Structure 1
Amino acid sequence: MRKIIMLTMALSLTATAVSCKKGASKIGNTVLNLGGEAEANAIIDFNNNFIDSYKNSSKHIERILKYADEAVVKSKGGNVLIMPVVISSTDYTLAKIKEVPSGFEKDKSAIETEFNTYKAKRENIDKKFDELKSYMTSEDYKDDKGAKAETLRKEIEGEANAFFAAGENIMIKIKPATDAAEEVVLKDHPMKEYIISSKNVMNSLDSVIDVLGKQYTGQFNETEAQKKYDELAKQAEANAKKEFNVKDQQYAYKKSQFESFNKNTSNFLDTYRKLIRDSKEAGKIPDNDIQQIDSSYESVLSAYNSFVK
């Protein structure tokens, strides 16, 4: 089963929202025959809504997986002080997605198939969790010595694996069209320079997270980690040196958000240096450091999304 922290970090690789939508109808048919503003914005909306759904639902499912693990331990007579709390969660963002936009063209059918699997697995996991929770609450495990808990855990894990696979496949398939839609939307955008530069920082940061995720479950490689640090630091420095000078006054308030993004990126680099130092001493990435990195990433991501929306 996946480590909880690792799932969060894996999601970080795909969680950068694309927004700053602006009138693009004059551009006409462009990359992937997006057909201007309406099609580009539909793709961007699907991307943003799906990312929010995937991220929030994944965290909910990870809590269920943890509960299932502890349920097996407790039902078989093991010592479990407090069962993990799983709060009922409705994926409201998922409800916003009415259809897969036609702008995905040749990938539309495959995305629809994966999306249907994604929704079905999310629903199945909740149903199986309700069944497991009822079993634990009623202490029915005293009758079968935890046999049903073990069965339900395996079923939940199987559904979760299918859910994550579908989610990751969707992210891979929607990226090309989303990038193309972003080009349409940003072509004449007053903040284009700053958005693209900030996105470059996020891409570099995502590369860091990818490397650290692999090293967390494997072996710490200081040389590789330091190389990624240097690449990110270079991108961050270039972005921070940009003077936010957008003449359109409706975007004047974005200056503070741009500065906040750069500040959070700087804080991430501070946390990253600590991780490299601690990991070098320990010979592996400590759990506490990976949690701090994940939290710091979320802060950078939140600042980025606030800036580009």
Structure 2
Amino acid sequence: MKTLFKLTALALVLSVTACKNDGKKDSNGKSTYAEADEKDVNEIIEYNNVMVSFTDKNNGYIKRIESNIIRIEKGLGNPNDRFAFTGLLMPFSMSTISGSRIKPDTPPSALSNDDQKFFKENVVSMTGVLDKIKATYKSLDEYIKAEDWKDDKGVKGKALVDSIYSMGKKYYAYDEVVLAKLNVIGDDAERVILKTHPLREYIFALKDDRSAATEFTKLLASNKNYKSIETKAKAAYQALEDQHNKHVAMVAPDATKFPGKDGYFRNFNERLNDYLIAARKMMRDAATSGKLTEYNIEELVRDQDSMRSAYNNFVD
């Protein structure tokens, strides 16, 4: 089945390197922003939050139309089903209300000139593609409501569906590179702020676990022929499991000083353990079948979403 979503959907699963100088970090693993001053760091973090909200809103709209499009595509292939198009709801696109003076297409001066240019250009491109998706979906919605598929045997409707799928892939190509760049510069900025945070060792541990899980998911998603990546996958899995065990062994935060943080820390570790359980099972199955499925990757993405929520609960 076709899908609008990249397999590693949402911000939480993206961590390819991308920032100044093509996103490369130096030999010490630092980007340009790792030594930024407090004022610049705060602006970078604020812009990161604005952009995450912007992409989450857009992704939410696309998620809402996907279920409709799947049903429409199925209905156009079976026009004799009189219930094929019943109950379709026109998805809404909610504006993100933000009090920030920083907007998605106006990145702060704290970013390098190259990065400001990158974000401006890509936000304009993303918005343009999303506007076309909305317009095309509106045409498809009207086509279905008017039952025009009865006149052309669904030809136009199928073309509109294919167009939306194609534009969805184009949108997520922009989405991926934008979120990847944000991931690196935002991570470095947060680490500057967290240098004096009393819970920094826990936050860094959780951040490192999320990053390693992301890289593992990306590795599995890179080639459905599991045999070709099996050796790398086993090594990456073992490294992630060893890191997880090391962090599980940490003494949880003092609940008397930081109420609730001990529970949130353990909850994150439990969510990562769920991810590892799922990964072990699919790797074993793939070793026999020789391949990974889209469902396998989507399951890991869902587990990472749970990790993201647990992380947010800890740092809030």
Q: Could you list the per-position Cα deviations for residues 48-107 of structure 1 after superposition, in whole angstroms to 9, with x for gaps in the alignment?
A: 342344245335425535644653553365677745956624344475662322222211
Output the amino acid matched with 2:59: S
Instruction: Choose which of 285, 308, 311 in structure 2 pairs with 1:301.
Output: 308
1:244 deviates by: 3.0
In structure 1, C-alpha distance between the alignment counterparts of 2:164 and 2:309, rounded to whole Å = 31
- Structure 2 residue aligned with 1:204: 212
Q: State whether residues 204 and 232 of structure 1, in contact with CA within 8 Å, keep that contact through their aligned partners in structure 2.
A: yes
1:134-149 to structure 2, matched below 5 A, reads 134-149=142-157
Alpha carbons of structure 1 residues 295 and 119: separation in structure 2 relative to 1, 3 Å:
same
- Structure 2 residue aligned with 1:88: 91
1:49-128 to structure 2, matched below 5 A, reads 49-55=50-56, 57-58=58-59, 60-62=61-63, 64-65=65-66, 67-68=68-69, 70-72=71-73, 74-75=75-76, 77=78, 82=84, 88-93=91-96, 98=103, 99-106=106-113, 107-128=115-136
In structure 2, C-alpha distance between the alignment counterparts of 1:268 and 1:136, rounded to whole Å = 41
Output the amino acid matched with 1:7: L
1:1-309 to structure 2, matched below 5 A, reads 3=3, 6-9=6-9, 11-14=11-14, 31=33, 34-37=36-39, 39-55=40-56, 57-58=58-59, 60-62=61-63, 64-65=65-66, 67-68=68-69, 70-72=71-73, 74-75=75-76, 77=78, 82=84, 88-93=91-96, 98=103, 99-106=106-113, 107-215=115-223, 217-220=224-227, 221-245=229-253, 249=257, 251-286=258-293, 288-309=295-316
Q: Could you list the per-position Cα deviations for residues 184-207 of structure 1 after superposition, in whole angstroms to 9, with x for gaps in the alignment?
A: 211211111111121111111011
1:209 deviates by: 0.7
Q: State whether residues 57 and 96 of structure 2, in contact with CA within 8 Å, keep that contact through their aligned partners in structure 1.
A: no
Q: State whether residues 264 and 314 of structure 2, in contact with CA within 8 Å, keep that contact through their aligned partners in structure 1.
A: yes
Alpha carbons of structure 1 residues 302 and 203: separation in structure 2 relative to 1, 3 Å:
same
1:281 deviates by: 2.9
TM-score w.r.t. structure 1 length?
Answer: 0.79
In structure 1, C-alpha distance between the alignment counterparts of 2:98 and 2:132, rounded to whole Å = 17
Alpha carbons of structure 1 residues 305 and 243: separation in structure 2 relative to 1, 3 Å:
same
Give identity over the alignment, percent: 25
Other structure's SS at 1:104 match: coil
In structure 2, C-alpha distance between the alignment counterparts of 1:172 and 1:233, rounded to whole Å = 24
Q: State whether residues 8 and 298 of structure 2, in contact with CA within 8 Å, keep that contact through their aligned partners in structure 1.
A: no
In structure 2, C-alpha distance between the alignment counterparts of 1:179 and 1:120, rounded to whole Å = 28
In structure 1, C-alpha distance between the alignment counterparts of 2:46 and 2:240, rounded to whole Å = 28
Alpha carbons of structure 1 residues 90 and 259: separation in structure 2 relative to 1, 3 Å:
same
Other structure's SS at 2:196 match: coil
Q: State whether residues 278 and 286 of structure 1, in contact with CA within 8 Å, keep that contact through their aligned partners in structure 2.
A: no
Output the amino acid matched with 2:13: L
In structure 1, C-alpha distance between the alignment counterparts of 2:13 and 2:121, rounded to whole Å = 23
In structure 2, C-alpha distance between the alignment counterparts of 1:158 and 1:222, rounded to whole Å = 31
Q: Could you list the per-position Cα deviations for residues 264-295 of structure 1 after superposition, in whole angstroms to 9, with x for gaps in the alignment?
A: 11121112111122222333224554443232
Alpha carbons of structure 1 residues 267 and 82: separation in structure 2 relative to 1, 3 Å:
same
Output the amino acid matched with 2:93: T
1:135 deviates by: 0.5
1:147 deviates by: 2.9
TM-score w.r.t. structure 2 length?
Answer: 0.78
Q: State whether residues 7 and 298 of structure 2, in contact with CA within 8 Å, keep that contact through their aligned partners in structure 1.
A: no
Q: State whether residues 10 and 210 of structure 1, in contact with CA within 8 Å, keep that contact through their aligned partners in structure 2.
A: no
Indicate the structure with greater helix content: 1
- Structure 1 residue aligned with 2:22: none
In structure 1, C-alpha distance between the alignment counterparts of 2:97 and 2:225, rounded to whole Å = 34
Alpha carbons of structure 1 residues 127 and 259: separation in structure 2 relative to 1, 3 Å:
same
Q: State whether residues 104 and 174 of structure 1, in contact with CA within 8 Å, keep that contact through their aligned partners in structure 2.
A: no
Alpha carbons of structure 1 residues 87 and 189: separation in structure 2 relative to 1, 3 Å:
farther
Query: 5+ unaligned residues in a row in structure 2: which ranges?
Result: 16-31
